[in-house]
Amino acid sequence: MALGQNILDYRKKCGLSQEELGEKVNVTRQTISNWELGETSPNPEQLKLLSKALNVSVDELIDNDIENVILKKVKLTEKQTKSIKKILKGLLIGFITLLVIDIIAFAICFFGKFGPFKESRTNSYEIREVI
């Protein structure tokens, strides 16, 4: 919705004439009419005065839908957070898996060389008597 239409709608909601609103904003009735028709636009100081006179925020007056912008950013942040959590979870699982494999490999090597299950690696040769 255009600024002019918003000024018109909020002015009517407040039950103000163009003349009454003009007095509150220190402009003429014709200026209010030009704003509502979209022929001219209020400057930033006039926007603040309009905001107070019409009891709405400047964002609402200029149709700056800041709430949707914030909601979109929050949703994007939540989506990114979920992706990061998945990546970190995968890395953690991979790290734990490698750690367990290393521990098992160490245990096999340690017990294989020094433990009770070590193999006897002695070579036995048969000596045959040649006749």
41-56 pLDDT per residue, tens: 999 999 999 999 999 9
Helix axes 3-13, 29-37, angle to 10 degrees: 130
Looking at residue 82, its pLDDT comes to 95
d(CA 4, CA 61): 9
DSSP run (H or E) holding 95: helix 66-114
Looking at residue 69, its pLDDT comes to 77
Looking at residue 106, its pLDDT comes to 87
Looking at residue 120, its pLDDT comes to 54
Q: What does pTM read for this prediction? A: 0.51
Looking at residue 124, its pLDDT comes to 56
- Correct CATH for 3-61 of 1.10.260.40, 1.10.1370.30, 1.10.4030.10, 3.40.109.10: 1.10.260.40
Identify the segments of the chain with pLDDT beneath 50: none
